[in-house]
Amino acid sequence: MKPGYQQTINEALKHWHSSEKGLSPDDIRTLQKQYGKNELQTPEQKSRLTIFIQQFKDVMILILMGAAAISFIAGETTDGYVILVIILGNALIGYFQEYNAEKALRKLQQMSAQTTVVIRDNQHIPIDAAELVPGDIVVLEAGNIIPADGRLLTVSALKTEEATLTGESASVEKKTTPIQEDKILPADQRNMVFKSTIVSNGSGTMLVTATGMATEIGRIATLLEAEPEKTPLQKRLQTFSRQLVVVVLLLCIAFFGYGLYRNEPSLTLFLTALSLAVAALPEALPAVITIALAQGASRMVKHNALIRKLPAVETLGAITYICSDKTGTLTLNKMTVEKVVPAEGKDNLLLHALLLNNEVRFNADNVLLGDSTEVALARYALQHGLTRDEALTRHPITDILPFDSNRMRMATLHPYDTKFILLVKGAPVKIAETLSPLYSDTKEALLQQNRTWAREGLRVLFYAYTILDTKPESLTEALESNLDFLGMAGLIDPPREEVIAAITQCKTAGIKPVMITGDQPLTALAIAERLQIIAPGDGTALTGADIMELTDIQLREKVKSVSVYARVSPEQKLKIVRALQQEGQLVAMTGDGVNDAPSLQQANIGVAMGITGSDVAKEAAHMILLDDNFATIVKAIKEGRHIYDTIKKFILYVLSCNLGELLVIFFAPLLGFAVPLLPIHILWINLVTDGLPGIALTAEPTEKNIMQKPPRPPKENLFAGGLLPRILLTGILMAIAAFVLQYIAVSKGYPILLQQTMIFTLLCLIQLGNALSVRSLDKSVLSVSLFRNPLLLGVIVVTIGLQFLLVYVPFLQPIFKTTALPLEALRDTVIVAITCFIAIEMGKWVTVRLRA
Ligand code: ATP
């Protein structure tokens, strides 16, 4: 059998039992069974069991297991069992959270799966690329990631970039003719295309010859361990945790040594030292952050923002600039033709050009598919008396020079009586450049007309043509010269209503919205005014040509103040992003085309369009807008800020609680008190009293003023924004409260067990108060209604309930080493707890004022 590249198109079609009309549903079912899914193998997803087992790899849990073992050996079986139950409970909570996060992320991945257009049963249909089978006919266009290996059937100016496969970054021009040589490498198989490479230019169709692991890329693909990328915050926390472990271990050793010196029983001392470590280390922190990010990502998808890279959730909250394409994102992408003016006597030819000079496809129900500008133009021609069949019979499209955003025009070739006609349309200035010298006098008037339309916010296209005696070998740019003017069309694309509100919101949130468009400056400014990106009459637009004149330094100066860019090419978008970033800005940039990938990658948040975006743009993006809507970016930023705030609240809560416990245990002996908390109390406080409210805090709703604050500084330190003083202050206040209570208890002559039960209860109450207090980072606890977070409310009730059970139920008392609190002791405890809570709130008030 000949390899695919040696076969003619007919041989290839026959070989795969297919035809230009594609496969039939029956074929497909059998083939799918035979060849399986068109997927590259990925590393196994974590199973439930792995997730569960992983919970036990935590250092903390290992310490606890050690503690349990020692308790059993020393005959303290009750302690041993209780510790085991606590370990299990902790692992279960961790498991459920991680499992849910994992599930949410997997769902997000599935949502960003690639789709591809196939011809089956003579119909163009979009399908999931994983469903492709050998024999399928796939339609390729610029920006596609090629979904399988295939033999090309038709090409028009098709070029691919095969760096993923061959390492060669230059694009390869493709053809359809068979190649005679033998044993040639994929890089030289010019009539074949390969999975995972990119269509950088033109269009074509291919016959699928290999899918999944049978493709060239499948053969060389090594399984990459998809280790999720860590966010800056996670990395900083990791370093912080490592440093903390060292400090805490040293403290534990010191504590143990000092206890031995005081002649305390060594087993209790040892267990207390271990529980001190448990109390001081914020073990839940990294997991909770991943979970908060994953939950945030699932909430965002409900608002149509699909996160592809988890760190984006965190970055979103710090965005200072949103650079957005106009068409489809700021506007509806519902182009309609407002005006058409033909050149004299060219009415009919212009109508034909409107209908034929494009890459619009008709589906089975005669619905027009394709670029919205082109669809609008073709529809206009149909509404004005042309039929597609008639036009195509008289002037079939024999060749296409596709639209390209640098050239800003496209050309089609058609038979014209015995000759050929080249129809060209494009941006007015670009077409004016191609007109014959005969137009040197009238050109300016035409461009003037264009400007008048543009000022009304219209997208203007010029049409031109030339008659050729013979059919050119291939269409090249050189043919687009010496043309005759054919007419002009003006289209309107109404702004999206909701965008105006979103833009106002950006402004109050300290985020600058910037419009970037391929349209001409006057059109761009007219639309920018309507969207309130600029005030009426006050704007100038920076054009691509201007940008080329500027040095990098000058551009950096400019970018800060410019709100509208016009006639900008994808390469210039990259320059704009870089310049803004050098100015210390965090930039979200939208894009849809294949050439947008570099700027999407460079941006802090690359945003691809879900509906109109190319595969390549989606692949490069951090986030995909499922509805292509600018307002969705703003919603995602709001959610991003909310998540960052939540994480900050959680860090504040956990670290201040831990510090409080640490100080109490560490300093009580130094102050001459009896051991204030037993190991079992410490474990309970740490895992239940701290743990449950901590989880509930991640369900905290958005604070109302979140979009009225400026973005957080991009390089903000983990403990910035007054977090560190708050942690220290809260921790110290907690410790002081405990010492005061113990002092009261001692002076009233209470036995040690009662003292301990009081401190145990006190810390439980204060932690819950602290959970309430951190709900707002800068406002008083009274300003946030408790009913906005029912989970936290529930947790508080349950935790207080449990605490009372531990203290008052007789059979639990020996297990948890408590004793019933007499009324007076309970009263003292509650009074000290409330005083401490008020002090924490006042501390918040003071730190916020000091920073302002
Ligand atoms: P925006 O940047 O606002 O999203 P866009 O991405 O559609 O707009 P380009 O596609 O770069 O911008 O188009 C640039 C210019 O090229 C348009 O202003 C128009 O004049 C011209 N143009 C757009 N589409 C076509 C087409 N299909 N054929 C010919 N010319 C076109």
Buried b (16+ CB within 10 A) or exposed e, 741-769: bbebbeeeebeeebbbbbbbbbbbbbbbb
Cα–Cα distance for residue pair 316/587, rounded to 1 Å: 9
**Pocket of ligand 1 contains residue 425 by CB under 6 Å:** yes
Q: What confidence score (pLDDT) does residue 187 get?
A: 84
**Pocket of ligand 1 contains residue 567 by CB under 6 Å:** no
Average pLDDT by consecutive 10-residue portion of the chain (852 residues)? 86 91 88 89 73 77 82 83 83 81 80 87 89 93 91 90 81 89 86 91 91 86 56 77 86 89 84 82 76 88 91 91 93 93 95 94 79 93 91 91 87 94 96 95 95 94 96 90 96 92 94 93 93 86 93 94 92 93 94 88 94 89 93 95 90 91 89 88 83 84 88 77 87 96 96 96 95 89 86 94 95 92 96 96 88 72
Token look-up 């602290």 returns: 770
188 as an active site residue: the answer is no
Show the tokens assigned to 62. 């290992």
**Pocket of ligand 1 contains residue 757 by CB under 6 Å:** no
Show the tokens assigned to 473. 């070998």
What is the residue type of 647? I
Q: Which of 400, 517, 531, 595 to mutate to test the pocket of ligand 1 (most atoms within 8 A of CB)?
A: 517
What is the residue type of 99? Y
Show the tokens assigned to 31. 């083939």
Q: What confidence score (pLDDT) does residue 225 get?
A: 46
Token look-up 């036990």 returns: 56
Query: Does residue 159 contact residue 217 with C-beta atoms inside 8 Å?
Result: no
- What length does the chain have? 852
Architecture, CATH, for domain 282-304+636-703+719-851: Up-down Bundle (1.20)
Cα–Cα distance for residue pair 236/311, rounded to 1 Å: 13
Q: Which long-range contacts (CB under 8 A, 24 or more apart) does 575-584 make?
A: 575/547, 576/323, 576/516, 576/547, 577/323, 577/602, 577/603, 578/602, 579/552, 579/555, 580/321, 580/323, 582/556, 583/556, 583/559, 584/714
Helix axes 790-808, 752-773, angle to 10 degrees: 180
**Pocket of ligand 1 contains residue 426 by CB under 6 Å:** yes
**Pocket of ligand 1 contains residue 700 by CB under 6 Å:** no
Bridge partner residues of 556 (DSSP): none
Q: Whose CA is nearest to atom 20 of ligand 1?
A: 427
Bridge partner residues of 385 (DSSP): none
Q: What confidence score (pLDDT) does residue 573 get?
A: 92
Cα 130 to the chain's mean position, in Å? 23
Token look-up 């040095």 returns: 551
Q: Whose CA is nearest to atom 12 of ligand 1?
A: 518
**Pocket of ligand 1 contains residue 359 by CB under 6 Å:** no
* CA geometry: angle 689, 695, 699, nearest 5 deg: 135
Ligand 1 geometric centre to CA of 711 (Å): 33
**Pocket of ligand 1 contains residue 517 by CB under 6 Å:** yes
Ligand 1 geometric centre to CA of 374 (Å): 10
675 phi/psi in degrees, rounded to 5: -50, 120
The predicted model scores a pTM of 0.85
Show the tokens assigned to 565. 């860019």
Cα–Cα distance for residue pair 790/776, rounded to 1 Å: 16
- Closest ligand 1 atom to residue 326 Cα is 3
Which residues 6+ apart lie within 8 Å of 352 measured at CB? 381, 386, 391, 395, 423
CATH topology of domain 336-492: Calcium-transporting ATPase, cytoplasmic domain N (3.40.1110)
CATH topology of domain 313-332+496-628: Rossmann fold (3.40.50)
Query: Does residue 700 contact residue 292 with C-beta atoms inside 8 Å?
Result: no
Closest CA to 830 of 731, 741, 756: 741
Q: Which of 325, 493, 519, 615 is catalytic?
A: 325
Bridge partner residues of 426 (DSSP): 409, 462
Ligand 1 geometric centre to CA of 44 (Å): 43
Show the tokens assigned to 216. 């060239």
Q: Whose CA is nearest to atom 9 of ligand 1?
A: 518
Q: In what order do the strands lie in the sheet with 336-342?
A: 336-342, 484-492, 459-468, 419-426, 409-416, 399-404
Cα–Cα distance for residue pair 307/128, rounded to 1 Å: 19
Architecture, CATH, for domain 4-42+109-223: Distorted Sandwich (2.70)
Q: What confidence score (pLDDT) does residue 508 get?
A: 95
Cα–Cα distance for residue pair 506/535, rounded to 1 Å: 15
- Closest ligand 1 atom to residue 325 Cα is 4
First to last CA, the chain: 79
**Pocket of ligand 1 contains residue 371 by CB under 6 Å:** yes
Q: What confidence score (pLDDT) does residue 493 get?
A: 92
Q: What confidence score (pLDDT) does residue 333 get?
A: 87
Cα–Cα distance for residue pair 21/32, rounded to 1 Å: 18
- Closest ligand 1 atom to residue 567 Cα is 14
Q: What confidence score (pLDDT) does residue 188 get?
A: 87
**Pocket of ligand 1 contains residue 566 by CB under 6 Å:** no
Show the tokens assigned to 662. 């640490």
Query: Does residue 233 contact residue 314 with C-beta atoms inside 8 Å?
Result: yes
Task: List the chain domain ranges.
Answer: 4-42+109-223, 282-304+636-703+719-851, 313-332+496-628, 336-492
Q: What is the largest CA-CA distance in the chain?
A: 116
Q: What confidence score (pLDDT) does residue 811 get?
A: 93
Ligand 1 geometric centre to CA of 503 (Å): 24
Ligand 1 geometric centre to CA of 406 (Å): 9
Taking only Cα atoms into account, the Rg of the chain, rounded to an integer number of angstroms, comes to 34
Closest CA to 816 of 689, 646, 643, 662: 689
